[in-house]
């Protein structure tokens, strides 16, 4: 009887172990599930799946840059109505930086690690003082340039370049001179270069609402209000494609109303 019980116990353990093995998810399983959630605009759920993938495979390049992307996306969606929302955003953007740097270390020759490093740095920099923003702007530009060098068809990298050029150009002559005395050299930007970069982003992905929103804003900076109004209107006409698109449409509506008032 004891031998029979031993055999039954062994078989039970074996079957249970095989069942567990069959249920165990791999990093690739979590990556695939994360992609599904991302396609469904479920950013928090996607983040959890990419994080699970990285825990199973810490050097998985795709999981690392997608995890960085998710931290940026979730950070962008934190509501200002939430308690300590700024601290929440800072933490999420810092996490995005951490995993983007790990992605670059895992594969320095692909565009997405560099791009999401620039995105995470840029988001975080906007929450800091002027001196820190200026210091970080150089690393942001380096990451953007590398992303474009590695993939000249990376529309998001051109988008980032256009925003960087406009933000640097917004620092005027007297402000730039005074700021240089206090903070050191300030990188130069150009509204014209911003327009070129953002038009390239639109050319590569014409149905991406945020490309057109930022191009419209650059047109406003150039006082090309009729062209700005056209871009803002296109934002309103396009279909939603990401979890942030409705917010972009709301902003475009406000920008459109302001631009129309300035058209002669």
Summarize pLDDT for 190-206 with one digit per residue, the tens. Answer: 999 999 999 999 999 99
Lowest-pLDDT range of 130-134, 156-160, 222-226: 130-134
**Residue 11: CB atoms within 10 Å:** 10
Give, in order, the Cα–Cα distances in Å from 131 to each of 53, 136, 160, 172: 37, 9, 20, 16
Assess whether pLDDT exceeds 70 at residue 218: yes
Mean pLDDT of 212-224: 98
Q: How confident is the model at residue 112 (pLDDT cuts 50, 70, 90)?
A: very high
- Domain assignment of residue 209, yes or no: yes
Name the domain count of the chain: 2
Could you tell me if 166 and 64 lie in one domain? no
Contacts of residue 109, Cβ cutoff 8 Å, sequence gap at least 6: 150
- Domain assignment of residue 7, yes or no: no
Could you tell me if 228 and 199 lie in one domain? yes
Assess whether pLDDT exceeds 70 at residue 5: no
Could you tell me if 247 and 174 lie in one domain? yes
Could you tell me if 109 and 169 lie in one domain? no
Give, in order, the Cα–Cα distances in Å from 117 to each of 72, 125, 156, 252: 10, 12, 12, 27
Alpha carbon distance 69, 118 (integer Å): 11
Alpha carbon distance 75, 158 (integer Å): 22
| Residue 200: predicted pLDDT | 98
| Residue 262: predicted pLDDT | 94
The CATH number of residue 170's host domain is 1.25.40.10
Q: At 157, which helix (H) or strand (E)?
A: helix 155-169
Of residues 171 and 263, more confidently modeled: 263
Contacts of residue 212, Cβ cutoff 8 Å, sequence gap at least 6: 202, 231, 232, 234, 235, 238, 252
Could you tell me if 39 and 137 lie in one domain? yes
* Total-model pTM: 0.85
Cα torsion 57, 58, 61, 64 to 10°: value is 110
Average pLDDT of the chain? 89
Last residue of one domain, picked from the residues 147, 181, 206: 147
Last residue of one domain, picked from the residues 147, 163, 188: 147
Alpha carbon distance 138, 143 (integer Å): 9
Could you tell me if 195 and 229 lie in one domain? yes
Alpha carbon distance 39, 156 (integer Å): 17
Could you tell me if 135 and 161 lie in one domain? no
Alpha carbon distance 45, 38 (integer Å): 8
Could you tell me if 235 and 127 lie in one domain? no
Domain of 78, in residue numbers: 25-147
What string of H, E and C letters represents the secondary structure of 85-117? HHHHHHHHHHHHHHHHHHHHHHCCCCHHHHHHH
- Domain assignment of residue 2, yes or no: no
**Residue 115: CB atoms within 10 Å:** 27
Could you tell me if 134 and 164 lie in one domain? no
Could you tell me if 143 and 157 lie in one domain? no
Q: Report the candidate in 61, 167, 159 with the shortest Cα–Cα distance to residue 119.
A: 159
Q: Report the candidate in 254, 161, 262, 171 with the shortest Cα–Cα distance to residue 202.
A: 161
Last residue of one domain, picked from the residues 131, 147, 163: 147
Q: How confident is the model at residue 135 (pLDDT cuts 50, 70, 90)?
A: confident
Could you tell me if 113 and 39 lie in one domain? yes
Contacts of residue 67, Cβ cutoff 8 Å, sequence gap at least 6: 47, 50, 51, 53, 54, 99
Of residues 94 and 172, more confidently modeled: 94
Segment 65-92, tens digit of pLDDT = 999 999 999 999 999 899 899 999 999 9
Could you tell me if 143 and 72 lie in one domain? yes
Q: Is 185 exposed, middle or buried (0-12, 13-18, 19+ CB in 10 A)?
A: exposed
- Domain assignment of residue 102, yes or no: yes
Q: How confident is the model at residue 188 (pLDDT cuts 50, 70, 90)?
A: confident
Assess whether pLDDT exceeds 90 at residue 264: no
């Amino acid at each position: 009887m004891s031998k029979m019980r031993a055999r039954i116990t062994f078989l039970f353990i074996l079957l249970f172990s095989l069942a567990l093995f069959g249920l165990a998810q791999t990093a690739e399983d979590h990556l695939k599930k994360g992609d599904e959630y991302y396609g469904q605009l479920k950013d928090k759920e996607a983040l959890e799946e990419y994080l699970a993938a990285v825990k199973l495979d810490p050097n998985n390049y795709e999981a690392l840059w997608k995890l960085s992307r998710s931290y940026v996306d979730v950070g962008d969606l934190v509501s200002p109505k939430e308690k300590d929302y700024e601290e929440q955003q800072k933490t999420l953007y810092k996490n995005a930086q951490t995993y983007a740097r790990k992605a670059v270390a895992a594969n320095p020759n692909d565009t997405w690690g560099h791009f999401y490093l620039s995105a995470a740095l840029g988001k975080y920099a906007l929450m800091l003082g002027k001196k820190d923003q200026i210091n970080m702007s150089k690393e942001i530009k380096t990451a953007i340039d590398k992303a474009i060098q590695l993939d000249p068809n990376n529309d998001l990298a051109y988008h980032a370049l256009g925003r960087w050029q406009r933000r640097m150009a917004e620092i005027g002559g007297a402000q730039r001179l005074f700021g240089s005395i206090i903070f050191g050299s300030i990188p130069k930007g150009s509204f014209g270069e911003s327009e070129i970069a953002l038009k390239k982003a639109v050319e590569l992905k014409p149905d991406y609402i945020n490309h057109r929103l930022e191009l419209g804003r650059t047109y406003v900076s150039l006082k090309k209000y009729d062209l700005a109004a056209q871009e803002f209107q296109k934002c309103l006409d396009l279909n939603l494609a990401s979890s942030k698109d409705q917010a972009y449409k709301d902003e475009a509506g406000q920008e459109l109303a302001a631009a129309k008032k300035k058209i002669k």
